[in-house]
Structure 1
């Protein structure tokens, strides 16, 4: 089947990034942004801007009846995933494909448990440096979406989405081992997001030698160690791959956790250091760097 109707739930940095791009490639009536009534009123009154350009979106509330979506993109924070899953119900049809751009290694499991894993493709969003401040989103690097089945890429769903992304000129890459890719991105997030948040800095701070970069790499190495106990076995080569991606980002850019700190809102700390610490306890492995990061960021958040 051909992908025609696309629904996006979540208008953070990534939701705006993909929504704005798709709004230029497909008819307005075929792209829907799912949001509650209050958010929609705010979006319409204040506008949503991507690199200074006003986004022309069609908004629908979760309770509106619509034609089923061929593709649903989840682009919320992890704390909003449960509501987003339920909020997408009216957009789900027999042939709907789900794609999650969330951080971490667990969103696909939750979406699949609710709607069925047969509708799901595993995904990692990487290489983008989008920053959202109020209603303004900016970026230098668009990045790519990496996707595939949990294992393999030779399925009709993968072919269907790849054909659509080619048609709409969405940068993508297929990966036959998406669980490993997700663990690699998780390793990156654990190091980058938390370190930049603690140092109250930007990507430029971790792109140069110094205490921040050392902390970032040490936090990532703890994930690398734990991955071996989880059957993933990330290597030094994987570490270098993700460090090379960090070094391509705009030095002025900031990861989502740093943006949360600036906005004085609760971050995805439990998704990053929280997960690492729990896995460390599970396997009897020390995680001193992530222990420290968890304590320091928790202290910052208590001050909000």
Structure 2
């Protein structure tokens, strides 16, 4: 069954990035941006811009009755996930497939509990360096969406449906046959780069060069490696090197989402990063002092908002 209609929920950096790309390639009504009426009114009044171009989106409220979407992309913050899951109810049908581009390792399970794990493909967003300020997004690298089946070693017809659609849309992607490991790898990356840049500097440049920020980032990532082993995930130093290579390709002037949150005075996803690492460390009796320190510093910053 060919994918023709797409629903996106969450107009943060990724939502705008992916939405603006798809909006240029499929009929406007076939790309639905799901949002409540208050947000829609604001989007229409202020407009949304991607690299200086105004985005012409088709907005749909959660209450509006439509035919099911063939593909749903979750691009909200973790704090908004539960509301977003409820908001897409009218978009989900028998053949709907769902991709979650959220950070962390928990969103797929949460969505699957509501709509069925058979509808959810595991996915990870990589390599984007988008910066969102107000209603304007700028980026140099779009990166790509990596996705695959929940069970390692397989590549199903559902994966092929999405891959065929992305190929047609010229949407950068990669199919991975070991997505649990990929999710843990992305968690390791975020635990390092998001938190280190939030605490030590204003952009990726601070962790791309030798120094305290980079050392802290790598130490935080190594704490994830130790926990992944306990969870049956084979993360190694080679994987750490891979993700450091991903970081090296980003624009030094770009900023991870947590740094953007700190600068805007927004509460971050620190519970999704250091919070999870600390909890798993307690579960397995493994010390996580670097993540504890980053957690404490970020929480102290947020307490001053």
- Interval containing the TM-score (normalised by the shorter chain): over 0.9
1:177 counterpart = 2:178:
yes
Q: Which residue of 2 aligns with 1:5?
A: 5
Q: Does residue 213 in structure 1 map to residue 222 in structure 2?
A: no
How much does 1:153 deviate? 4.0
Distance (whole Å) between structure 1 residues aligned to residue 299 and residue 248 of structure 2: 28
* Aligned equivalent of 2:44: 44
Residue of structure 2 in register with 1:131 after alignment: 131
1:186 maps to: 187
Residue number in structure 1 paired with 2:169: 168
Give 1:150-299 correspondences, 5 Å limit. 150-151=150-151, 152-299=153-300
Tell me how far apart the structure 2 counterparts of residues 154 and 220 of structure 1 sit (CA, whole Å): 29
Partner secondary structure for residue 255 of structure 2: coil
Q: How far has the Cα of 1:225 moved from its partner?
A: 0.9
**Which SS does the other structure have where 2:145 is aligned?**
strand
Write the distance in 2 (CA, Å) between the matches of 1:36 and 1:143.
28
Who is 2:114 aligned against?
Answer: 114
CA distance in 2, matches of 1:3, 1:214: 44
Residue equivalent to 1:96: 96
Q: Is the 8 A contact 1:165 1:171 kept in 2?
A: yes
Moved more, 2-11 or 198-207: 198-207
Local SS of the residue matching 2:105:
coil
Runs ≥4 residues deviating over 4 A:
none
Asked whether the 8 Å contact 1:62–1:88 carries over to 2, the reply is yes
- Measured in 2, the distance between the counterparts of 1:132 and 1:154 equals 34
Name the CA distance, whole Å, in 2 between partners of 1:153 and 1:160. 14
Q: TM-score, normalised by structure 1?
A: 0.99
Question: How many matched pairs?
Answer: 304
TM-score w.r.t. length of structure 2: 0.99
Please name the residue that 2:67 is paired with: 67
Cα RMSD of the aligned pairs, angstroms, is 0.6
Look up the SS of the partner of 1:93 in the other structure. coil
Contact map agreement 1:153 1:174 (CA 8 A) in 2: no
Kept after mapping to 2: 8 A contact 1:153/1:175: no
- Distance (Å, rounded) in 2 between the aligned partners of 1:271 and 1:95: 30
Q: Deviations over 1:225-245 (max 9, x none)?
A: 111111102101100000000
CA deviations over 1:171-206 (Å, ceiling 9, x no partner)? 111100000000000000000000000013210000
